[in-house]
Structures are given as structure tokens and as C-alpha cells.
Structure 1
Amino acid sequence: MNALLRTLVVLLSLLVAVPALAAPALADVDLVKQRVAKVGVLRGEFTQEKQVAGFKNPLRSQGSFVLAQDHGVIWTTLKPFPSEVVVTRDRILSRQRDGSSRVELDGRQQPAMRSVNAIMFALMSGDAQALSAQFTVKVEALPNNGWTMQLSPRSAMLAKVFTGLALSGDRYVREVQITEANQDVTRIHFAGMRETPAQLSADEGRKFE
């Protein structure tokens, strides 16, 4: 199963039982909100490394993404094995690029799907306000409009899976680090971000249908 899909499935299973807490009104949240761009459609590339505890070499993958605020996220892995995950408001769809396999989670059967969607968007867009519903947020301002964000689970159930998440960026989120309770660490680096074209292509739009 695609590594991103595994993370989303874990979040989904947890959020079914963990209610969203009231997000605190933090100056830290406002700082990140002011610095991160509000973009309708954002495209870019990613490289991902997962360091599994006990193994010397990390698992690596790379590909591209499309983040459309009104539709969802298209996460396309190109290497080592082509695959695609599409996250919309009501579903998560994973498929091999050659169409040989397909996994779909339907929001009508999974009432926490919207929460998973929100977290996915929040991680990629640096939405500290949304993340603070499930995580304690600590922000540090950096020069040149930069920032870092440290996230600690606010519930015991989330803490059983994640010991912490870290984000860093400027106008965009540049890096996400996820540390699991078993000490596996996933680092995702985003590059080549672009805000044009500002509309989805016909092919991209069909993937959200």
C-alpha cells in the first residue's frame, strides 16, 4: 500500500474515536497564517524518505502533487513504483498508474473522512489553525519570512502512533517530518512549487469526480 495512504488510513481509524478539540487562539497560529500563501491551486514535486527503525537505508520515493483548495489533493508517486492517491472531501482513492489495483475509502461509510481531508490539507498548506484541533502547536519565526512548526498530539490515542510532527517553510510548506511512536521517521520535502496555471486541467478535474 502507498506510504501516504497508510498514514491516512491510520489517521482515519484514530479520528473515528478522537473528537476534535477546540483550537486555541494562538499568536503562533496567526504568524504562520500571515506568512503562508493562500493559493487556490498549487503544484509541485516531492521527495520522501522513510527511515525504518533497525534498518540502515531509508525507503525513498518521489513524484508530484496538486493541491486544489476546493477539490482535494492528487499525490502522484513516480519512483520507485508509479501510483496515485487522490484525496477529496468524501473519499480517498489509491491506484496503480497502470490501473492494475485500486483501493477506495468512501466518506459516506467513514464519518471521520472529512477530518482526514482537513489534516492532509493542513499539513501541505501549513494551516496551523486546523492542525491545532488535534495537536499542540509551537511556532518559531525565522528570517526571510521563514517559520518552523512543532506539533505534539493532544490525545493519548494519537500519541500511540505519532510522537510528533514538524513542519518548516516560508510562503509554502517546504518540509514535513513525521515521527512515529515506533521511532520510524518520514521526511517529505516539497520543491518546485508553482501557482500557475491557476485552474485545474481537464485531466486533473476528472480525477476529483
Structure 2
Amino acid sequence: MNKWLTLALIAFSTLSWAQVTDLDSLQAQLAQHSLVRGDFTQLRHIEMFEQPLSSQGKFTLSKQQGLLWQQTTPFPVNLVLTQDKLRQSFAGQDPQVITAQDNPMAFYFSHVFLAVFHGDTEALQEQFDIEFKRGSNQWTIELTPTQAPLNAVFKSITLEGEENIEGLTLQEVRGDKTQILFTNQTHQPETLTDAEQAQFSF
């Protein structure tokens, strides 16, 4: 690679990092892109089991439409979450659709977790105490629920990353924990594909 291009990339990276110093600058960085796609690995730690339960797949997060979560292993699961609907389907089964009217509590949690996935710190401040930390190579925010029903389920929710959210940890009150690692993230193409748009149209 041309040394000037290398220096330019380093300078851009340093500038980007310099901008992330608090919640406001983090919010601004995460809001730069309306779409992010990538791979995920989810590790579910259950106290009664020695080894975590692992699953992998792909995700698409759209600020306008919602979350498309496509698990591929250990078995296929397709989940689409919007502001007012949730559709999930397992291999060989008809999809199930739940609306906000059907289950208001489920959508209370869904709206919170869309805000978590988006890193929407303004919305999160309504539900959590937020602690921001800046390390040498990443930022971390720890969310502590301040009201029911979240504080009856979760002890804390931790987000960490650099340009994007790269890790999400859900620590439950009862001791179980879920870790989700996000890799191979991209913002291209900048609009939903026809196949992705079709997933959100239900």
C-alpha cells in the first residue's frame, strides 16, 4: 500500500477516535450510518451448564426498518423485528407473527433492545443509568436498569466497540449471561436489498 495512503488511513482512524469522548460523540458516530450488516456469534451462559450454548448467523440492522436476525447454526432461525411487529420462523415451520397489540410487554422489551442495538443513548437514558468508558482501543458503555420490568430481569447490559458496536453482554439478575460478538460489519450497500426489503414487508 502507498505510504501516504497508509498515513491518511491512520490519521482518519485517529481523528475518528478523537471524536468519541463521551455519550454525545458516541451517539453521533453510531448515527452516521443508517444500515449495518455483519455476522454474529451468540454465547448463552446458563449456570447449570458448564459450556455456553453457541449460535452463529448474519444480521441486518436498519434504523428505518428494524432488525433482521438470521441464525444459521446450530439450526436455522429467521427473526424480523420492527417497531410494531415480530416475525420468527424455524426451519420447516410456518412463521409466527406477534404484534404490539398481541403482547405489549414483549414490545416494550423489543423497543428497548432496538435502542440498544442502535446505540441510541438518548432513548436509553430513559431506562438506564449509563456509564461511559474510553479505553486505549475501544469504548464501553454499561447500562444499569433503573425501573421495572427491566431491573427485574437484567443486572446490566454492556456495549463495546470502535466504529460500530462489536460486543453486547446481557447479565441477568438470576446469574445467566448472553454474549453477542459482531464481526465482518459493513455499511454497503447503503440501502436495503430487494431480499432484505421483502423480509421487512409483512
Q: Which runs of 4+ in 1 moved over 6 A?
A: none
Task: State whether structure 2 residue 147 is matched by structure 1 residue 134.
Answer: no
**Equivalent in the alignment of 1:182:** 174
**Equivalent in the alignment of 2:30:** 36
Deviation at 1:77, TM superposition (A): 0.3
Task: State whether structure 2 residue 83 is matched by structure 1 residue 56.
Answer: no
Q: Call closer, same or farther: CA 1:157–1:120 in 2, change over 3 Å.
A: closer
Separation in structure 2 between the aligned mates of residue 105 and residue 28 of structure 1, nearest angstrom: 37
**Equivalent in the alignment of 2:59:** 65
Separation in structure 1 between the aligned mates of residue 180 and residue 66 of structure 2, nearest angstrom: 19
Query: Which residue of the other structure, out of 77, 99, 107, is the alignment partner of 2:100?
Result: 107
When the two chains are superposed, the root-mean-square deviation of aligned CA atoms in Å is 1.9
Are the counterparts in 2 of residues 125 and 172 from structure 1 also a CA contact under 8 Å?
no
Alignment partner of 1:199: what SS? coil
Deviation at 1:36, TM superposition (A): 2.5
Alignment partner of 1:160: what SS? helix
Higher relative contact order (CA 8 A, sep 6+): 1
Separation in structure 2 between the aligned mates of residue 183 and residue 114 of structure 1, nearest angstrom: 24
Deviation at 1:49, TM superposition (A): 0.2
Separation in structure 1 between the aligned mates of residue 150 and residue 62 of structure 2, nearest angstrom: 27
Deviation at 1:163, TM superposition (A): 0.7
Q: Call closer, same or farther: CA 1:41–1:97 in 2, change over 3 Å.
A: farther
Alignment partner of 2:149: what SS? helix
Deviation at 1:156, TM superposition (A): 4.4
Task: State whether structure 2 residue 139 is matched by structure 1 residue 152.
Answer: no
**Equivalent in the alignment of 1:96:** 90
Separation in structure 2 between the aligned mates of residue 31 and residue 115 of structure 1, nearest angstrom: 27
**Equivalent in the alignment of 1:118:** 111
| Corresponding pairs, count | 181
| Higher-Rg member (1/2) | 2
Separation in structure 2 between the aligned mates of residue 117 and residue 151 of structure 1, nearest angstrom: 16
Read off the aligned partner of 1:138 and give its amino acid letter: E
Deviation at 1:164, TM superposition (A): 0.7
Separation in structure 1 between the aligned mates of residue 151 and residue 22 of structure 2, nearest angstrom: 22
Q: Which runs of 5+ in 1 are unaligned?
A: 1-26
Separation in structure 1 between the aligned mates of residue 147 and residue 100 of structure 2, nearest angstrom: 23
Q: Call closer, same or farther: CA 1:97–1:66 in 2, change over 3 Å.
A: farther
Alignment partner of 1:95: what SS? strand
Deviation at 1:127, TM superposition (A): 1.8
Separation in structure 2 between the aligned mates of residue 107 and residue 159 of structure 1, nearest angstrom: 21
Query: Which residue of the other structure, out of 172, 193, 197, is the alignment partner of 2:189?
Result: 197
Are the counterparts in 2 of residues 40 and 70 from structure 1 also a CA contact under 8 Å?
yes
Identity %: 29
Q: Which runs of 5+ in 2 are unaligned?
A: 1-20
| TM-score (normalised: structure 1) | 0.79
Alignment partner of 1:200: what SS? coil
